[in-house]
Amino acid sequence: MRPCACPPLLRRHRYLPAGRVLLLALPWALLSAAPLSACPARCECVPQVRSVLCQRRRLTALPEGIPTETRVLELSRNRLRCLTAGELSAFPLLEELDLSENALAGLEPGAFGGLPQLRALRLRGNQLRLLPAGLFAGLANLTLLDLSENRLVVLVEPRALFGLRQIRLLNLSANFLPTLEEAAFHSVNSLETLRLDRNPLVCDCRLLWVLQRRKTLDFDGQLPTCSSPPGIPGDALRALPDAVLFEFFTCQRPRIRERRLQRVTALEGQPVSFLCPLGIQLTASRARSAVWLKRIQSLRSRVQF
């Protein structure tokens, strides 16, 4: 899969003065980005707080002329589709970056490289399905990451959230995640607020760590709910007492608890269904590994023709 669908040469071209000797004599900052007083033509700037505000400007790429010293860059509700590696590293003092409600489908590894001061990264309402490994690797100061309302299907890329040593608020609301494994994190100890609602969660042992922290984690008023296994109440986290919960959130292979004999009438060659009196029904993926305690031989002998 290509991590990023950006056309390769849609880069912005900077005006270069004719004399190269003169160019070399200029301070590097003047060449690499606009001076402090500048502001991109289509944005508003608040120089006192080093903010560049470019919401709703139909931007398809980062605008020209963002000052190097920018701390807050607001690019929400534009048409950005992709961020390439190092694209933002010209603004190493960034503390807040808002890319919500764009059309970001691709983030190259290194897209957030060179931003050691970044504290808040908002990516809500984009088209993200996967996060490349190491995407957040350098963001040691990040405390807020909003990935809600994307199309994330998996965060099991080992250590998908690695590098986020200080993450306090993680918003994954409204994605397509079946689970969120503790191994995805650098450490979950810094985590204070977690939004995991509106995902098709499979409530098994992989989510035990959430369960264990459910008294201390702040779910921002929206407890995660279970989509499966079917036997588990959707609001298990809210409704079930601790003792029962740990019985449900397991990853053991399903077993038939009640071994009552079943008589089934079927035509030869037709499939036969047995009722499976399990506390938890089998999900599709688990059914394949279901263990039948009766041998096929003995099962067959009990089918009535």
Contact residues for ligand NAG (CB under 6 A)? 116-117, 124, 140-141, 146, 148-149, 169, 171, 173-174, 193, 195, 220
Taking the C-alpha atoms of residue 51 and residue 40, their distance in angstroms, rounded to an integer, is 11
Phi-psi region of 159 (alpha: psi -120 to 50; beta: other; left: phi over 0): left
Shortest gap between Cβ of 169 and ligand NAG (angstroms)? 6
Tell me the closest approach of the beta carbon of residue 231 to ligand NAG, in angstroms: 29
Alpha carbons 195 and 124: distance in angstroms, whole number: 12
CA 255 – CA 165 distance, rounded (Å): 40
Altogether, the residues listed in the chain come to a count of 305
If the CB atoms of residues 87 and 197 are measured against ligand NAG, the closer one turns out to be 197
Q: Quick one: 169 or 280, whose CB is closer to ligand NAG?
A: 169
Nearer to ligand NAG, 169 or 191 (CB): 169
Positive or negative, the CA dihedral 59, 76, 122, 201 is: negative
At which residue do the structure tokens 């605008």 appear? 63
Residues 233, 242 contacting (CB under 8 angstroms)? no
148: nearest Cα among 186, 101, 96, 211: 101
Smallest gap from residue 276 Cβ to ligand NAG (A): 37
Least separation in angstroms between CB 264 and ligand NAG: 48
Q: Which two tokens stand for residue 184?
A: 């995805």
* Closest distance to ligand NAG from the beta carbon of 213 (Å): 16
Taking the CA atoms of 282, 286, 292 and 293 in sequence, report the sign of the dihedral they define: negative
Among residues 116 and 230, whose Cβ is nearest to ligand NAG?
116
Measured from the CB atom, the residue of 141 and 281 that comes closer to ligand NAG is 141
Give the nearest distance from C-beta 107 to ligand NAG in angstroms. Answer: 18
Nearer to ligand NAG, 84 or 173 (CB): 173
